[in-house]
A and B are shown apart, each in its own frame.
Chain A
Amino acid sequence: MSTPFRTLVKDGLWNNNVVFAQMLALCPSMAVTTSGTNGLGMGLATTAVLVVSNVLVALIRGVVSQEVRIPVFIVLIASLVTIVDMALNAWLHDLYKVLGLFIALIVVNCAILGRAEAFASKNGVWPSLVDGLAMGIGFTFALTVIGLIRECLGSGTLFAQASQLLGANFAFLEIRLHDHGGALLMILPPGAFAVLGFLLAGKRLLDARLEARRKTAAAIDTAPVEA
C-alpha cells in the first residue's frame, strides 16, 4: 500500500490538516497563538519533532512489537522534544522565553503520536518523511494564520518580534497596523475559540464550494455532446 506523495502533501496541507480537519493539537493551537510569530515558532518546533519522529518510527516499526509500540513511540517523541527544547533554549533563547512551557508540551501533542500511530508505523521511511513534513507545514500554516488574525485584532501588529525568531533579515515582516491598541479579548482564550471557529466555518464553506464546482465540471464533461 503506497499513497502517492502528491496526495500526502495535499492531505497534510489542506484536506487532512491537523488543526482544520483532524481537529487535533488544539491546545497549542489556541494557547500559543497570541501572535503570528508565536504561532510560527511553535509550528516550526512541532514540525521538526514530527518529521524526525515519523522517520524514526518508520525505521523501527519492524522491530517493535504491537504490544509495546505506544510506550516506545512516547519515549522516542519525548527524547526528541527534549532535544528541541534544549536547542531552542541555547540558540533562540528569546523565543524560548515566549514559548517556554509549550515546547515541553509538544510531547503530549496528539498530532505527533497520531501520525506515528496512524501513518509512520504502517509506511516506509520516505512516505513517512513526506507525511511528517506536509503535516508539520500544515500545522504551522494553521497556527500562523490563527496567530496573525488574533494579533491583528488584539494588538494591531503583524509578526511582532519576528526578527527574534528568524533573524534580523526578517525584521521587514514586523508591521504595525495602527496605534489604537486592540480588543484585548482576542488575545485572551475566548478570542482563540472565536477565531478558530470562524476559520473552520470558512474552510468548510470553501470546501463545499469547491466540491460543488467539481461536480458541475464533471457533469459537463460526461454530458453527451450534441452534434
Chain B
Amino acid sequence: MNGIAYHAERPFAAPHAHGGGKIGRAMLFVQLALVPATLFGFWLYGWPAFFLWAITLLSVLVFEFLSLRLMGKKQAERTLFDGSALLTGWLLAMTLPPWSPWWIGMLGAFIAIVIGKQVFGGLGQNVFNPAMVARVALLISFPLQLTTWVMPMPLASTLIPGVVDGLHITLGQTPLPDAMTSASLLGYAKTELSRGVDLAQALAAAHAPQISWLGVRAGSLGESSALLLLLGGLFLLATRVIRWQAPVGVLAGVLLPALLAHALAPEKYLGVESHLLSGAVMLGAFFIATDYVTSPTTGMGQLVFGLGVGLMTWVIRTLGGYPEGVAFAILFMNALTPLIDRYIRPRILGRTRSGKPVSPLSGADRAKKGA
C-alpha cells in the first residue's frame, strides 16, 4: 500500500512523486476530527455509549487481525495498526444507537471488517464503505434494536446511569424503560406524516433548529451535534485530508430538493435546516462520502458522487419507508463509483482533456501572440 500519494492536488499520470502521506496519518487525522463529537456524545448519553464504542473498536481490531492471519498476510501487525480498521469501527460506533447491547457492536464489527472489507481483499479493494455495509445490515436484521434511541441525559443530570449500571445496559441485562427512549426528528416526522398530521403542527416546539446545532437530542453519536461534526469536517479540509467536492456535493444534493419541496408544500416536506442538521448528513458528507477507497478519483467525479448521495438521501427520507437514508444513499453511490470513474477521468499529463497531445510550443506561441 505504500507509494500512494494521498495529498496530491489531483491524480496525475506517471512518473508519480510521493507526497509523504501515509495511510496511518490520514486515518489519525480523521479520528482526531471525530473526537469532539464523540466526547460530546459520551457526555450526552453516558457510560453505555462509551462501552459500546469501546467494544466496537476492540472487536474491529480482533476481526481485522484474525482475517489477516487467516489470509496469511505478511506483516499482519503493521497493517493492523494503520488505523483503517479502527476508523471503520469508530464510524460504525457513531452510527449505532448509543445504548445498544454489546453484541450489536461486535456483530457490526464482524460484518464491516470480514464481509465489508477483507472478503474483497482488504484495504483499498472494497467496493462498499465497510461501516455503512455493517450499519445497513444491522438495521435490516435488527430493526428494533437499531431504532431504539435514548433521550439525552447529560452526565450532570441525576437520571444518568453510573459506570456499573451503564455496563449492565451495554451487556443487555437491563431492558430500557420506555420513558427513556424517544424518536429522532426524522422518525417522528415520518410517523406524524403517516398519521395524517401535517408538519406545521407536529414540529411546533419540540425540534427547533438550535437544538439540532447543539445536538442535545435523541440520536446516535454521529448525528447529535451537527456543529461539532462540521468543525471536524472543516479541520479535515484545512489539513487537506479530504477535498471539498464530496462534502459540498452531499450538502447541495440534500439542500436543493429540500428547499424546493419545502417552499412548495411546507406541511408535507421538512425544511432545509431539519434535513441538513438531523440524521447522518453531516457525518456522511465529511467523513463517509470522502472515503478514499469507495469514492471516485477525480474532483469532478466526487462532486457528482456527493450530489448523488445527497439527492438519494432526500428521496429515501421523503418517499421511502425508512426515516433516514444516508447509509443507503452512500452504498448506492458506492456501486456507481466505477461508472463515474469510467466517464469522468483525470487529464493525462501532456494531453488535453479530449486526449490530444499538448504541443510543447503552444504555450510559447500563445505568449508571442498575446505580446
Q: Is A114 in the interface zone, CB < 8 Å from B? A: no
A185-B119 Cα distance, complex, nearest whole Å: 18
A183-B144 Cα distance, complex, nearest whole Å: 11
Decide: A190 and B119 in contact? CB cutoff 8 A.
Answer: no
A119-B43 Cα distance, complex, nearest whole Å: 69
Of the listed stretches B32-40, B79-87, B135-143, B154-162, name the one at the interface; the rest are far from the partner chain: B135-143
Q: Nearest chain B CB to A165's CB is how many angstroms away?
A: 27
Q: Is A23 in the interface zone, CB < 8 Å from B? A: no
**A residues in contact with B143, CB < 8 Å:** 184
Decide: A185 and B115 in contact? CB cutoff 8 A.
Answer: no
Q: Is A81 in the interface zone, CB < 8 Å from B? A: no
Considering only CB atoms and an 8 Å cut-off, how many residues of chain A contact the other chain? 9
Question: Most chain-A Cβ atoms within 10 A of its Cβ — which of B115, B141, B142?
Answer: B141
Q: Nearest chain B CB to A203's CB is how many angstroms away?
A: 16
Within 8 A of A (CB), among B133-177: 137, 140-143
Q: A187's closest neighbor in chain B, by CB?
A: B141
Decide: A188 and B119 in contact? CB cutoff 8 A.
Answer: no
Q: Is A186 in the interface zone, CB < 8 Å from B? A: yes
Tell me whether chain B's interface is mostly helix, strand or loop, or mixed.
Answer: helix
A182-B119 Cα distance, complex, nearest whole Å: 23
A54-B315 Cα distance, complex, nearest whole Å: 52
A183-B142, A184-B141, A185-B141 are known; give 8 further A-B pairs, CB within 8 A: A182-B141, A183-B141, A184-B140, A184-B142, A184-B143, A185-B137, A190-B137, A194-B115
Q: Nearest chain B CB to A152's CB is how many angstroms away?
A: 14
A188-B142 Cα distance, complex, nearest whole Å: 13
What 0/1 pattern do residues 20 to 55 of A give for CB contact below 8 A with B?
Answer: 000000000000000000000000000000000000
Decide: B141 and A186 in contact? CB cutoff 8 A.
Answer: yes
Tell me whether chain A's interface is mostly helix, strand or loop, or mixed.
Answer: helix
> Lowest 9 CB-CB distances: which A-B pairs, in order?
A183-B141, A185-B141, A184-B141, A185-B140, A185-B137, A184-B140, A194-B115, A183-B142, A188-B140
What 0/1 pattern do residues 164 to 201 of A give for CB contact below 8 A with B?
Answer: 00000000000000000011111010100010010000
A185-B115 Cα distance, complex, nearest whole Å: 13
Q: Nearest chain B CB to A67's CB is how many angstroms away?
A: 42
Interface size class of B (residues with CB under 8 A): under 10
What 0/1 pattern do residues 99 to 125 of A give for CB contact below 8 A with B?
Answer: 000000000000000000000000000
Q: Nearest chain A CB to B314's CB is how many angstroms away?
A: 25
**B residues in contact with A183, CB < 8 Å:** 107, 137, 141-142
Q: What total count of A-B pairs have CB within 8 Å?
A: 17
**A residues in contact with B141, CB < 8 Å:** 182-186
A186-B142 Cα distance, complex, nearest whole Å: 11
A188-B136 Cα distance, complex, nearest whole Å: 13
**B residues in contact with A182, CB < 8 Å:** 141
17 A-B pairs, CB-CB below 8 angstroms?
A: A182-B141, A183-B107, A183-B137, A183-B141, A183-B142, A184-B140, A184-B141, A184-B142, A184-B143, A185-B137, A185-B140, A185-B141, A186-B141, A188-B140, A190-B137, A194-B115, A197-B119
A194-B142 Cα distance, complex, nearest whole Å: 17
Q: Nearest chain A CB to B146's CB is how many angstroms away?
A: 11
**B residues in contact with A190, CB < 8 Å:** 137
Question: Most chain-B Cβ atoms within 10 A of its Cβ — which of A182, A185, A186, A194?
Answer: A185
A190-B111 Cα distance, complex, nearest whole Å: 12
A197-B143 Cα distance, complex, nearest whole Å: 25
**B residues in contact with A186, CB < 8 Å:** 141
Within 8 A of A (CB), among B101-148: 107, 115, 119, 137, 140-143
Q: Nearest chain B CB to A193's CB is how many angstroms away?
A: 10
A65-B157 Cα distance, complex, nearest whole Å: 87
A204-B141 Cα distance, complex, nearest whole Å: 29
**A residues in contact with B115, CB < 8 Å:** 194
Q: A191's closest neighbor in chain B, by CB?
A: B141
A190-B119 Cα distance, complex, nearest whole Å: 14
Q: Nearest chain A CB to B231's CB is how many angstroms away?
A: 35
A29-B228 Cα distance, complex, nearest whole Å: 48
A185-B134 Cα distance, complex, nearest whole Å: 11
Question: Most chain-B Cβ atoms within 10 A of its Cβ — which of A184, A188, A197?
Answer: A184
A182-B115 Cα distance, complex, nearest whole Å: 18
**A residues in contact with B107, CB < 8 Å:** 183
**A residues in contact with B119, CB < 8 Å:** 197
**A residues in contact with B142, CB < 8 Å:** 183-184
Q: A153's closest neighbor in chain B, by CB?
A: B141
A183-B143 Cα distance, complex, nearest whole Å: 10
A188-B140 Cα distance, complex, nearest whole Å: 9
Q: A205's closest neighbor in chain B, by CB?
A: B70
**B residues in contact with A185, CB < 8 Å:** 137, 140-141
Q: Nearest chain A CB to B78's CB is how many angstroms away?
A: 25
A194-B120 Cα distance, complex, nearest whole Å: 12
Q: Nearest chain A CB to B189's CB is how many angstroms away?
A: 25
A186-B141 Cα distance, complex, nearest whole Å: 8
Q: A185's closest neighbor in chain B, by CB?
A: B141
Q: Nearest chain A CB to B103's CB is how many angstroms away?
A: 10
A185-B141 Cα distance, complex, nearest whole Å: 5
**B residues in contact with A188, CB < 8 Å:** 140
